Amino acid sequence: MVDETIAGDAGVQEQGRHAVGDRSGRALLVIGVLAVALAATALFSLTWGASDASALGLVRSWLFGATPGDEALSMRDSVIVYDIRLPRIVLGMLVGAALAVSGAVMQGLFRNPLADPGLVGVSAGAGLGAVSVIVLGATVLAPFTALLGTYALPFAAFGGGLLTTIILYNVATRQGRTSIATMLLAGIALGAMAMALTGVLVYIADDRQLRDLTFWQLGSLAGATWLKIAGAGPIIILALATTPFMAKGLNALALGEATASHLGVPVQRLKYVAIVAVSAAIGASVAVSGGIGFVGIVVPHLLRLAIGPDNRYLLPASALLGACLLLLADAVSRTIVAPAELPIGIVTAAVGGPFFLWILLRKRGVVDL
Amino acid sequence: MIEARQVSVSIGSTRIVSDVDFTVRPGELAAIVGPNGSGKTTFLRALTGELAFSGKISLNGRDTAKLKPWEAASIRAVLPQSTALSFPFTVREIVKLGVTGGRSGALAGEGDRLPERALARVDLEGFAGRFYQELSGGEQQRVQLARVLCQVWAPVLDGQPRYLFLDEPVSSLDIKHQLIIMDIARDFARRGGGVVAILHDLNLTAMYADQICVMYRGKLAAAGAPQAVLTDSLIEKVFGCRLRVGAVPQANIPFVLPQSAVA
């Protein structure tokens, strides 16, 4: 029988500063390492490219003023580093963070590690919104593009993603229970519908639009400009900034919607905020870089293996690792077939596809259809 | 005090619970019993605010329909029948959710040790670092109980009694752990809290409950002290089988009752 004397002084096992089963220390360490790795990757990306432009020389002259030894630093180098590589790096980090964090939030929301915006049709919906603006922006949607200017594309993508997520959630969730089978199947259906409509738009597009569309659909950071960053950056940053406030709620949600509510989480409000934030982040990302797949599923999954599923650490770590991996993928994509370049979506799919299969083989229990 | 007045619940067009009146005073352990499909869990879900209902339910005089989730979480904790997870949380991380969710009421400085203390109470000492998904059903249920205990660690907080709602808390446990868990529930009540538990084992119910509410076809068939409620005629009416209360089996058939436990 349990009585107070037993219960009172029972085993507090300390291992160093952290109790057994408490992975917060390791999580903070991993976040620190990832932050350093991201900084290093960004610096590496700045110096790595088809051109031999010397970013280090630029950084040196920027820090210490131009020195006599730096005559080699030409106008060309400056343009390549500041106007081509730097915006591309900034955009890559924003998009990588947005994709990975959106994946993690969506997986928390649907209580399933396979819920990824790319897999369940949200990216396709966002793509439809974006393609509508590219193809119809000058004609049918002219008032919309005139009103929003630079923001027309990200907002249309946001709208498409939001609509898809809301439909998906309502179809897949009955009385607080999300059926993973229904979710994946509904995602396939919604994705197919969005692709069909996108196909119609592609069909009526003119030659110039068609070329834009093809590259954009494969996913690429090649078109990165400071203007695009000004359009998508604030949306992504705003959406990411809301996620730390969801972390505790998403943790409780892992126990089910009813239990989360019993733990004091305002579940409905959490769901609304999460859906809008994911749609905004995905919409803005898709608008600037097209469909870059698998980041949202691979990054949170790897991190859960390393630091556990606690969203207070998982979300910031996902942002850092997502940014880091996308920069590396982009470095590969712009040098592997230099001077041409491979769309980054091909790189992430080539790596992410086999990884996804590995998840399925390793943990068959994950998909309980 | 938990007060339910004329509570009815319909799901779709089917009425599952009709006009149930129910009162639990602080210090009491109330057991809800009844056959499968009699509306026990549905009624408990109405009590905990999971389902919409007609009628009125109040906790400590406050209308539950008007309580915010975080207010309700500081007054009562709820143990569901079973909880499956799709993410690899450790046992400690699950139990810790109870601490961060409600107001444990533990003394300052005790909060950090609370998960370990709660795990020891449910006889899961040393399980903190294990993965929840790798535990057996009974162990998972006890982890969830530890989480629930953390949420309302002090049965009385700021002079207000608090409550435990337990949906079949011992359904997948062996006899030793059934007794441990029921002792925890009774202890919570004795220290000034209130407990509502759905139970199937009539012997355990008779041993621990201060009040038994028998549900039958969505209605309250009987309520009161075990001696008054558990009669041959009620059991035949509600469960549809003729059993005799207090009859001892033939001499050569062994029987083991929880009441025979030696403290």
* ipTM here: 0.91
Instruction: Give the global pTM.
Output: 0.87
Residue A219 lies in a domain: yes
- Whether residues B83 and A248 touch (CB distance < 8 A) is answered with no
For A290-313, the pLDDT digits (tens) are 878 889 988 999 899 889 999 999
Residue A243 lies in a domain: yes
Assign A6 a pLDDT band (cuts: 50, 70, 90). very low
Size of interface A-B (CB pairs under 8 A): 129
For residue A177, the surrounding DSSP H or E stretch is strand A177-178
CATH number of the domain residue A337 falls in: 1.10.3470.10
- Any residues with CB less than 8 A from the CB of B247 and at least 6 apart, and which? none
pLDDT at B175 exceeding the cut of 50: yes
* Total structural domains within chain A: 1
Residue A326 lies in a domain: yes
- Whether residues A252 and B101 touch (CB distance < 8 A) is answered with yes
> Which of B199, B196, B238 has the alpha carbon at shortest distance from B215?
B238
Nearest CB neighbour to A10, from listed B50, B88, B125: B125
Q: Which residues of A touch B (CB under 8 A)?
A: 1-2, 6-8, 10-13, 19-23, 111-113, 248, 251-252, 254-256, 258-259, 261-267, 304, 308-310, 366
Q: What is the pLDDT of residue A62?
A: 63
| CB-count burial class (<10 Å; 0-12, 13-18, 19+) for A8 | exposed
Residue A197 lies in a domain: yes
- Whether residues A267 and B69 touch (CB distance < 8 A) is answered with yes
Instruction: Please compute the mean of the pLDDT values over residues B160-177 and round it to a whole number.
Output: 94
Q: What is the pLDDT of residue B4?
A: 94
| β-bridge partners, B31 | B197, B212
Q: What percentage of chain A reaches a pLDDT higher than 90?
A: 30
> Which of A227, A236, A220, A224 has the alpha carbon at shortest distance from A330?
A220
**Are B164 and B185 in contact, with CB atoms under 8 Å apart?**
yes
Nearest CB neighbour to B100, from listed A2, A21, A248: A248
Nearest CB neighbour to A309, from listed B78, B89, B179: B89
Chain A residues whose beta carbon lies within 8 Å of the beta carbon of residue B100: 248
Rounded (5°) CA angle B232-B233-B237: 120
Nearest CB neighbour to A2, from listed B86, B87, B180: B180
For A58-115, the pLDDT digits (tens) are 666 666 665 555 555 567 777 777 778 889 999 999 999 999 999 999 999 888 888 8
**Are A319 and A304 in contact, with CB atoms under 8 Å apart?**
no
Instruction: Please compute the mean of the pLDDT values over residues B44-67 and round it to a whole number.
Output: 93
Chain A residues whose beta carbon lies within 8 Å of the beta carbon of residue B74: 264
Domain that holds residue A316: 24-47+55-63+74-361
For B108-159, the pLDDT digits (tens) are 667 778 999 999 999 999 999 999 999 999 999 999 999 999 999 999 998 9
pLDDT at B253 exceeding the cut of 50: yes
Residue A341 lies in a domain: yes
- d(Cα B185, Cα B261) in Å, to the nearest integer? 17
Residue A18 lies in a domain: no
CATH of B1-75+160-263, one of 3.40.50.10330, 3.30.70.100, 3.60.9.10, 3.40.50.300: 3.40.50.300
Assign A9 a pLDDT band (cuts: 50, 70, 90). very low
CA distance A23 to chain B (A): 8
Q: What is the pLDDT of residue A47?
A: 80
Q: Which residues of chain B form CATH 3.40.50.300?
A: 1-75+160-263
Place of tokens 């980090």: A93
Assign A12 a pLDDT band (cuts: 50, 70, 90). very low
CA distance A251 to chain B (A): 8
- Whether residues A10 and B120 touch (CB distance < 8 A) is answered with yes
CA distance A126 to chain B (A): 27
Instruction: Please compute the mean of the pLDDT values over residues A133-143 and round it to a whole number.
Output: 83
Nearest CB neighbour to B90, from listed A8, A261, A308: A308
CA distance A267 to chain B (A): 9
- Whether residues B97 and A2 touch (CB distance < 8 A) is answered with no
